[in-house]
């Protein structure tokens, strides 16, 4: 749709609001017709993107999150683009008088004013706009040939101060602005690191970034993940720089330095692990093996001292050793951790193939420590597999009994009753299971399972007694032969009194049930039991359906 058509559909109120907004850095980037800009609304700033094919809008977006097809921020940019279409002499970036084109009024003033006037105005601007002052310093200040840790920390802290001053509470838009300044301010810093990759000092410089951002995050109040994502991006950059070190000698020296710092007293098991993981993942297979050897050496010393790292560290160590087929030789170091299901499952799966007994012990330790029984299911499944493979049917029956309620089925029930040696426990299990099924007969499949258990016990009398409105026609058909053989008249009375039709009833099951009744009972008997009551004679009840079919046969 064309710009003019979109604007014509907007209300006067919306257009008025859009005209009052301030936008900055409207640019045509990457491809013709692709416009981006920042639009300010109060203290908030939003990224707007409009893509045009001539004057037709082919795509548009804004990060304000409003549900309007076109928010006021997009409308503000469309109004500007519309005026440019009408007057090509309006604002255009990089327009130069040398090309015979008109420039913006601001550019004309900039060329006309003297240096002293501009300098005076900028000084006043810097007083109330610290972020602009910082950008000015980063752009025109002296280029540093060498960075110190204090330099990096100052750049990051100054960026925060330029946006929020000394305030501790930061709005989301301000966090976004801070991170944008950080990204731009640290561009030469990353170049410096790449050029000085052989110097072990770069580890300390990056740690200055990490620690400063972390300290800032803990010292202010804000909601969001932008600071964390900034650190993650930094991790990726430094890991990429280290991965491109061609010299194995340099690479080993660099990673050794990082490894030693990671386990120093101040940084023990800290956030440095996140970077080390990325360094490992970015490395070649041969270099990964060197790092795996370092991990194995550390584990040996930890095992001797009976000391364990944090779950995050041990989880990474476990993954590395499994990748390089080094786990079995170091398995004694790893133990289950309370309430760490993901780590425990990975550990037990790794250990079960070469030491099933230890896997059983670990599963039981985890299960004993779980407060919520639903957390036990994956560990019960491991035990079930181990006992199945070993042929220990008595133990397998106890496991099936413990997980039965989460997925009840007749095969497991029969197995439990046939292989469990604890008669008292079996009796309690049977009572609990039948009670659970009876009380929840309305759930799909529970009525059939209840009847299957009674079939297994050959308790057909109980089967007939429990027929009520919750038993589906499909189940009555499956167990017809037992119920009919036990007491056919009592069974017919139960059918007439209890079969109900609702949205879950399969019409084909109803039809088969009616045919069974017609084939196995005399007409007079059917008429006696199925004659509709006065209140139901005109309703679509099972009684009425059977009686109507009887009338049709005359």
pLDDT in tens, 133-186: 655 655 565 555 578 888 889 889 988 888 888 888 888 888 899 999 999 888
Q: What is the pLDDT of residue 41?
A: 86
Residue 76, burial from CB neighbour count under 10 angstroms (0-12, 13-18, 19+)? buried
pLDDT by residue (tens digit) across 384-427? 999 999 999 999 999 999 999 888 999 999 999 999 999 999 99
Has residue 131 got a pLDDT over 50? yes
Same domain, yes or no: 167 and 35: no
Domain end call among 68, 84, 100: 84
pLDDT (0 to 100) of residue 112? 64
Same domain, 70 and 178: no
In the structure encoding, which two tokens stand for residue 43, read together? 């203290």
Q: How many domains does the chain have?
A: 3
148: how many CB neighbours lie within 10 A of its CB? 13
Mean pLDDT of 321-328: 96
Please tell me whether residues 32 and 158 are part of one structural domain: no
Mean pLDDT check: name the lowest of 137-146, 309-318, 540-549: 137-146
pLDDT at res. 105: 65
Confidence (pLDDT) at 44: 82
- Evaluate whether residue 72 is within a structural domain: yes
What distance, in Å, lies between the first and last C-alpha atoms of the chain?
A: 71
Pair (80, 150) in one structural domain? no
Question: What global pTM score does this model have?
Answer: 0.64
The residue from 283, 311, 336 where one domain ends is 283
Of the candidates 256, 283, 310, which is a domain's last residue?
Answer: 283
**Average pLDDT, integer, range 447-452:** 97
**The predicted structure's pLDDT at residue 91:** 43
Question: Do 150 and 250 share a structural domain?
Answer: yes
DSSP string of 314-350, one letter each residue:
HHHHHHHHHHTT-HHHHGGG----TT-HHHHHHHHHH
Q: Per DSSP, what are the bridge partners of residue 37?
A: 48
**59 within a domain of the structure (yes/no):** yes
- Looking at the domain assignment, is residue 110 inside a domain? no
Q: What is the 3-state secondary structure (H, E, C) of 184-211?
A: HHCHHHHHHHHHCCCCCHHHHHHHHHHH
Does 153 share its domain with 269? yes
Q: Are residues 57 and 180 in the same domain?
A: no
Q: Is there a single domain that holds both residue 62 and residue 165?
A: no
Whether 264 and 193 share a structural domain: yes
Determine, yes or no, domain membership for 273: yes
453 has pLDDT over 80: yes
pLDDT tens digits, 239-298: 988 898 888 998 998 899 889 888 875 554 556 888 899 999 999 999 999 999 999 999
Do 42 and 153 fall within a single domain? no
The two three-digit tokens of residue 542, written as one number: 């099972």
Q: Residue 442's pLDDT is what?
A: 85
Domain around 187: 143-283
Residues 185 and 276 placed together within one structural domain of the fold: yes
What would the mean pLDDT of 332-341 be, rounded to a whole number?
Answer: 94
Which of 89 and 215 is assigned the larger pLDDT?
A: 215
196 in a structural domain: yes
Question: Quick check: is 97 in a domain?
Answer: no
Sign of the dihedral through C-alpha 296, 302, 308, 312: negative
Closest CA relative to residue 274, chosen from 206, 216, 202: 206
Q: What's the CA gap between 172 and 223, in Å, rounded?
A: 7
* pLDDT score recorded for residue 101: 42
CA within 13 Å, CB half, 189: 26
- 449 within domain boundaries: yes
202 belongs to a structural domain: yes
Least trusted range by pLDDT, from 74-83, 119-128, 253-262, 490-499: 119-128
Distance CA 20, CA 90 (A): 18
- Whether 243 and 155 map to the same domain: the answer is yes
Q: What is the pLDDT of residue 96?
A: 37
Cα torsion 503, 505, 508, 510 to 10°: value is: -120
């Amino acid at each position: 749709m064309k710009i003019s058509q979109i604007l014509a559909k907007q209300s006067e109120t919306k257009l008025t609001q859009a005209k009052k907004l301030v936008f900055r850095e409207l640019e045509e980037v990457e491809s013709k017709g692709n416009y981006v800009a920042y639009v300010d609304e109060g203290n908030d700033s939003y990224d707007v993107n409009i893509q045009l094919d001539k004057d037709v809008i082919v795509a548009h977006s804004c990060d304000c999150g409003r549900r309007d097809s076109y928010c006021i921020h997009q409308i503000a940019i469309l109004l500007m683009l519309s005026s440019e279409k009408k007057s090509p002499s309006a604002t255009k970036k990089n327009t130069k008088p040398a090309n015979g084109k008109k420039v913006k009024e601001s550019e004309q003033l900039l060329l006309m004013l003297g240096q002293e006037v501009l300098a005076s105005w900028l000084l006043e601007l810097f007083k109330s706009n610290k972020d602009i002052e910082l950008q000015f310093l980063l752009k025109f200040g002296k280029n540093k040939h060498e960075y110190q840790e204090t330099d990096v920390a100052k750049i990051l802290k100054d960026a925060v101060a330029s946006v929020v001053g000394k305030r501790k509470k930061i709005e989301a838009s301000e966090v976004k602005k801070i991170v944008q300044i950080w990204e731009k301010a640290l561009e030469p810093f990353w170049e410096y690191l790449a050029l000085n990759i052989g110097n072990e000092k770069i580890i300390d410089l990056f740690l200055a970034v990490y620690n400063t951002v972390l300290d800032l995050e803990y010292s202010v109040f804000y909601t969001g993940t932008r600071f964390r994502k900034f650190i993650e991006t930094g991790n990726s950059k430094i890991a990429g720089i280290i991965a491109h070190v061609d010299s194995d000698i340099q690479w080993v020296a660099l990673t050794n330095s990082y490894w030693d710092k990671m386990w120093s007293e101040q940084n023990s098991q800290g956030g440095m692990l996140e970077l080390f993981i990325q360094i490992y993942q970015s490395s070649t297979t041969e270099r990964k093996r060197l790092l795996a050897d370092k991990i194995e050496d550390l584990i040996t010393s930890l095992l001797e001292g009976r000391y364990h790292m944090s779950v995050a560290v041990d989880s990474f160590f476990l993954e590395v050793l499994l990748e390089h087929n080094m786990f079995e030789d170091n398995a004694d170091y790893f133990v289950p951790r309370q309430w760490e299901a993901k780590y425990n499952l990975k550990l037990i799966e790794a250990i079960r193939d070469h030491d099933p007994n230890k896997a059983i012990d670990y599963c039981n330790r985890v299960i004993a420590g779980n407060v919520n029984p639903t957390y036990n299911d994956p560990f019960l499944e491991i035990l079930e597999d181990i006992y199945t493979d070993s042929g220990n049917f008595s133990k397998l029956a106890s496991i099936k009994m413990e997980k039965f309620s989460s997925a009840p089925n007749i095969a497991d029930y029969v197995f439990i009753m046939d292989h469990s040696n604890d008669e008292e426990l079996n009796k309690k299990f049977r009572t609990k299971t039948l009670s659970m099924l009876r009380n929840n007969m309305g759930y799909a499949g529970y009525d059939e399972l209840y009847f299957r258990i009674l079939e297994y016990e050959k308790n057909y009398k109980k089967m007939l007694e429990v027929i009520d409105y919750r038993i589906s026609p499909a189940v009555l058909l499956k167990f017809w032969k037992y119920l009919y053989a036990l007491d056919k008249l009592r069974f017919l009375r139960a059918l007439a009194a209890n079969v109900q039709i609702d949205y879950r009833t399969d019409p084909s099951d109803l039809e088969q049930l009616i045919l069974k009744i017609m084939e196995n009972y005399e007409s007079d008997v059917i008429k006696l039991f199925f004659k509709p009551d006065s209140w139901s004679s005109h309703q679509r009840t099972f009684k009425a359906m059977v009686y109507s079919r009887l009338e049709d046969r005359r």
